[in-house]
């Protein structure tokens, strides 16, 4: 029968699918929170079936995951922030991520009033009411019992309402044991943030990133970590019977390939299986010969012969299309070649004339066929005989003929000596051998190529 068609062109009713599938999508997984640049898909596993097409994909969007204050110091944490402020990331291309300030801490401190104490260098003041971690300032005296400056010893952690300067500490190590009117101006910067809106980026901002806020705080910069948002399948591929592995260039995210729900390369057929009630869409399970297949439909599974007419029991059809969109019946198929006839379909590019058979007999393995009108066949022409009923053996098939006269041809065929029964649907047609492809490949006028419907 010549080389059989590849298994990737079979249907997908089986589990796993007979002819394999393509990749329909990727599922993002893993911890997926430590990217500062967009990763790449470095490899996708090869198709399981010979002739399968390699799938291709790429990372399409990234999302915000975590952030920390970019560096220590006043500039990075900003000033005048309060818990609940929303920081919007500046830069990149896409929808901006936001982070909510969870808590703040002291980033700057200055004495407002020394009060009535006599201060000594090394004395400390502590702010504790409303602070989850108390803040501590260490005093440097001015040599006259006053305060020259303060140093932040513990910046503390504060998540309460905004502090209003000047702020009085709650306790002190001063010898008096009392604050006695000392107050300080505190600059509160960002300490910890939590992801708000993840955003969606096609180009990431470069760390450290500036932020904006609708509150009173200004100047905070963050180091942001991102995760994979979505990955796109650019080429679905074919011939996968199980999900292939996907390897990324780095990071702690993962991608899991999800197969399509149907084989994109499966040749479409209409089949009337033995025991069924009608011709319905089905799948090729196995190629038995160039014109015979094991197929399955919703009505069952059986061997079916490829024909060029509405299928009867045990028959099936396919559809081929030329460059102009005209259609034909493929009546024989090998790995690269299709034998086609027009058979009442719309094709115009390939000359496949049909003639009604008026009589047909077989004697000593030679079939004599008479048509109701003159034919244009030449000696050796390849024809397709169909719609003839034999009492013992079939007359139908693809044959090379000898021309006896304008309405009579003969061909060799094994079988009993008998006359066939013919009717208005009994025809002999020119059978043309052409190359075949499937979409997205195309046929071009002047090329001997048809596209099989999938």
From residue 312, alpha-carbon distances to 271, 333, 356, 391, 451 in Å are 8, 20, 19, 17, 25
Q: Are residues 250 and 399 in the same domain?
A: no
State how beta strands 315-317 and 300-306 pair. parallel
Long-range contacts of 36-40 (CB under 8 A, 24+ apart): 36/204, 36/207, 36/224, 36/225, 36/226, 37/204, 38/62, 38/203, 38/204, 39/228, 39/248, 39/249, 39/250, 39/251, 39/253, 40/248, 40/249
The answer to whether residue 21 sits within a structural domain is no
pLDDT of residue 16: 55
* Chain center to CA of 284: 26
Same domain flag for 89 and 201: yes
Give the C-alpha distances (Å, rounded to integers) separating 149 from 9, 108, 111, 338: 82, 11, 7, 93
Nearest-angstrom CA–CA distance, 254 and 32: 7
Of 396, 389, 358, residue with least CA distance to 374:
358
Distant-in-sequence, close-in-space partners of 302: CB < 8 Å, separation ≥ 6: 273, 274, 275, 276, 294, 295, 314
Alpha carbon distances (Å) from 300 to 273, 276, 318, 367:
6, 7, 18, 35
Q: Count the neighbouring beta carbons within 10 Å of the beta carbon of residue 207.
A: 16
The answer on 172 and 44 residing in a single domain is no
Residues in the chain predicted with pLDDT less than 50, given as ranges, are 72-74
Residue length, the chain? Answer: 454
Specify the pLDDT at position 17: 61
In a domain, 67, yes or no: yes
pLDDT at 44: 98
Per-residue pLDDT at 15: 53
The residue from 209, 238, 260 where one domain ends is 260
Whether cis (ω within 30° of 0) applies to the bond prior to 256 is no
Statement to judge: residues 51 and 166 lie in one domain? no
pLDDT at res. 74: 47
- Same domain? 31 vs 176: no
- Distance CA(310)–CA(443), nearest Å, equals 26
Task: With respect to residue 438, please indicate whether it lies within any of the assigned structural domains.
Answer: no
pTM exceeds cut of 0.75: no
Domain that holds residue 121: 107-188
Of 25, 28, 24, nearest in space to 226 by CA: 28
- Whether residues 157 and 222 share a domain: the answer is no
Per-residue H/E/C for 264-319: CCCCCEEEECCCCCCCEEEEEEEEEECCEEEEEECCEEEEEEECCCCCCCCEEECC
Residue 340 lies in a domain: no
Neighbours of 73 (CB within 10 A): 10
Do residues 232 and 159 share a domain?
no
DSSP 175: T
- Burial per residue of 342-369, b for 16 or more beta-carbon CB atoms within 10 angstroms, e otherwise: bbebebebbebebbebeebebeeeebeb
Q: Does 170 lie in the same domain as 128?
A: yes
In a domain, 15, yes or no: no
Let me know whether 137 and 207 are in one domain.
no
Let me know if residue 285 belongs to a domain: no
Q: How many CB atoms lie within 10 A of CB 42?
A: 10
Tally the domains of the chain: 3
Does 346 reside within a domain?
no
Question: Residues with Cβ < 8 Å from 20, sequence gap 6 or more?
Answer: 7, 8, 12, 47, 48, 49, 52, 238, 239, 240, 241, 263, 265
Tell me, what CATH number does 416's domain have?
2.40.30
**Other C-beta atoms lying within 10 Å of the C-beta of residue 429:** 23
Q: Is 6 inside any structural domain?
A: no
Give the residue from 7, 29, 429 showing the smallest Cα distance to 228: 29
3-state helix, strand, coil in the chain (%, to 5): 0, 50, 50
DSSP label at residue 75: H
> Are residue 203 and residue 244 in the same domain, yes or no?
yes
Same domain, 122 and 147: yes
Domain boundary among 188, 210, 226: 188
- Residue 21's pLDDT is 85
Tell me: do 207 and 83 sit in the same domain: yes
């Amino acid at each position: 029968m010549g080389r059989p068609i590849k298994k990737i062109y079979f249907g997908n009713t089986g589990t796993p699918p007979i002819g394999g599938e393509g990749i329909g999508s990727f599922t993002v997984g893993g911890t997926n929170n430590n990217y500062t640049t967009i990763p790449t898909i470095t490899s996708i596993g090869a198709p399981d079936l010979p002739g399968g097409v390699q799938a291709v994909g790429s990372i399409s969007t990234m999302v915000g995951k975590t952030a920390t204050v970019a560096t220590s110091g006043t500039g990075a944490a900003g000033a005048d922030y309060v818990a609940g402020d929303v920081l919007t990331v500046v830069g990149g291309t896409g929808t901006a991520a936001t982070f909510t300030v969870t808590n703040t801490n002291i980033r700057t401190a200055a004495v407002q009033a020394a009060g009535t104490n006599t201060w000594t260098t090394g004395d400390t003041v502590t702010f504790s009411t409303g602070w989850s971690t108390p803040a501590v300032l260490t005093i440097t005296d001015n040599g006259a019992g006053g305060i020259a400056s303060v140093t932040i010893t513990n910046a503390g952690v504060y998540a309460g309402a905004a502090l209003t300067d000047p702020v009085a500490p709650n306790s002190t190590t001063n010898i008096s044991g009392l604050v006695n009117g000392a107050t300080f101006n505190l600059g509160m910067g960002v300490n910890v943030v939590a992801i708000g809106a993840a955003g969606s980026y096609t180009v990431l901002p470069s760390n450290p990133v500036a932020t904006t806020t609708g509150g009173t705080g200004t100047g905070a910069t963050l180091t942001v970590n991102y995760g994979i948002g979505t990955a796109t399948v650019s080429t679905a591929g074919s011939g996968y019977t199980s999900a292939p592995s996907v390897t990324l260039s780095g990071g702690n995210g993962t991608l899991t390939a999800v197969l399509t729900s149907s084989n994109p390369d499966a040749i479409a057929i209409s089949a009337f299986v033995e025991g069924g009630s009608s011709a319905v869409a089905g799948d090729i399970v196995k190629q038995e010969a160039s014109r015979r297949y094991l197929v399955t439909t919703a009505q069952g599974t059986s061997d079916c012969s490829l024909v060029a007419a509405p299928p009867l029991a045990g028959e099936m059809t396919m559809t081929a299309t030329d460059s102009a969109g005209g259609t034909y019946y493929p009546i024989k198929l090998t790995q690269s070649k299709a034998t086609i006839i027009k058979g009442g379909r719309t094709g115009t590019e390939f000359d496949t004339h049909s003639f009604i058979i008026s009589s047909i007999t077989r004697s000593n393995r030679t079939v004599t066929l008479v048509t109701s009108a003159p034919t244009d066949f030449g000696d050796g022409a390849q024809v397709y005989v169909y719609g003839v009923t034999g009492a013992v053996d079939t007359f139908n098939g693809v044959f090379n003929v000898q021309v006896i006269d304008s309405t009579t041809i003969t061909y060799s065929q094994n079988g009993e000596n008998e006359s066939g029964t013919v009717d208005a649907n009994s025809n002999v047609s020119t059978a043309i051998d052409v190359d075949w492809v499937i979409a997205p490949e195309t046929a071009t006028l002047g090329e001997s190529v048809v596209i099989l419907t999938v």
